[in-house]
Amino acid sequence: MIQAERLKSLFLDLVQIDSLSRREGQIAERLARELKDLGASVVFDGAHEAVGGEVGNLIARVPGTVDAPPFLLCAHMDTVEPGIGVCPVVEDDVIRSDGTTVLGGDDKSGIAIVCESVRAAQESGLPRPPVDVVFTICEELGLLGARHLDIAQVAARRGLVFDSDAPGCVFTRGPGSQRIEAVVRGRAAHAGMAPERGVSAIRVAADAITTMRLGRIDADTTANLGVIHGGRAINIVPDEVRIRGEARSHDLARLAAQSAHMRACFQEAASRHPGATVDVNIVPMYGPMHVADDAAVLRLLRIAAERVGRPLHSGRMGGGCDANILNQRGFEIVNLGTGMRDIHTTKEWLRVSDMVSAAEVTLSALTLAAESS
């Protein structure tokens, strides 16, 4: 009952709509029309006011045919850079980026799967529960849309997020994250006439970074410095450098230890360069996700996958997703893989057949949720 060509067509339509974080207005309008066509009531919350965006989270209610608890389907609307002017390339079952931008399968594959599953459920004539659809903003900026979601407008308390790569995998565990913001200050001087009077903030920052544990720290923990800005001209000893990074871990104690280590590296480097100072701010972004193996939503999903002959295994992921926040806010949510590959790169691609598989499992889950009413 899932129509592959319709799913593919919607996905291709969506990826060609620019929707960088805080600029989701155009795709939100497109999706509101799509959901209203399915008979949904659609509202937008005020999350954009908290994050400085164009539009809030889209919240839709699709009526069911039975008196059952509503079921949540969630994906995010924003994409990362370079994401302006996406030109998808279709090669049989594969859709890929043309190499100049990301594809946007993260997370428009999830959006397309949600819309096709709801449409197919209506066409099937089978019993279905009320469905709450939530398409969030600013997920890529640290799950900000989910953090500011007006949950009073969402009736469902269990369901699925669609925001991971591995097809046939449902993710029940994810790391927590802390953002690291460091400002290294030195002393400016003319680089040719009086370099001795200066203290290079870039040199201090480099000293700190070379002593820092980064990348894969252990089985639970990773760390990265991703953005650095500093200096004003090549003939001025730089007096300020700003660095942003992150630490992630499935274990809160290890997360705290890694963040503390990164702070200490900056502080110790500054102490080795007289005249240098450093300010380090550690900002909690979200906590780890851990959904129990016997959770009701996971039991339902396993049976649903078995009914349609699709393999399904559970696992843990290295990235955060809206499920991290939603589970902390009282929901029971797992993350179903859509098949997106090489995400956040200009080599991003996916298989339509993987999206079809995820949609079939989702449709089966909706039918099963109605039966268990």
* Active-site annotation, residues: 78, 139
Please state whether beta strands 176-185 and 240-249 pair in parallel, antiparallel, or not at all (unpaired): antiparallel
| CA 352, chain centre distance (Å) | 21
Please state whether beta strands 221-230 and 215-216 pair in parallel, antiparallel, or not at all (unpaired): antiparallel
DSSP per position, 354-373? HHHHHHHHHHHHHHHHHHT-
Give Cβ neighbours of residue 127 (< 8 Å, ≥ 6 apart).
64, 65, 66, 367, 370, 371, 373
Residue whose pair of structure tokens reads 């308390």 in the numeric block: 157
What's the rounded Cα separation, in Å, for the pair 106 and 86?
A: 13
272: phi then psi, degrees, rounded to nearest 5: -85, -5
CB atoms inside a 10 Å sphere around CB 274: 8
Cis geometry, peptide bond prior to residue 69 (ω within 30 degrees of 0): no
Give Cβ neighbours of residue 236 (< 8 Å, ≥ 6 apart).
188, 189, 190, 191
Whole-number Cα distances in Å, 321 to 160, 265, 328: 11, 29, 12
164: phi then psi, degrees, rounded to nearest 5: -155, 165
What's the rounded Cα separation, in Å, for the pair 241 and 230?
A: 4
Residue whose pair of structure tokens reads 């049989």 in the numeric block: 92
Helix (H) or strand (E) holding 327: helix 322-328
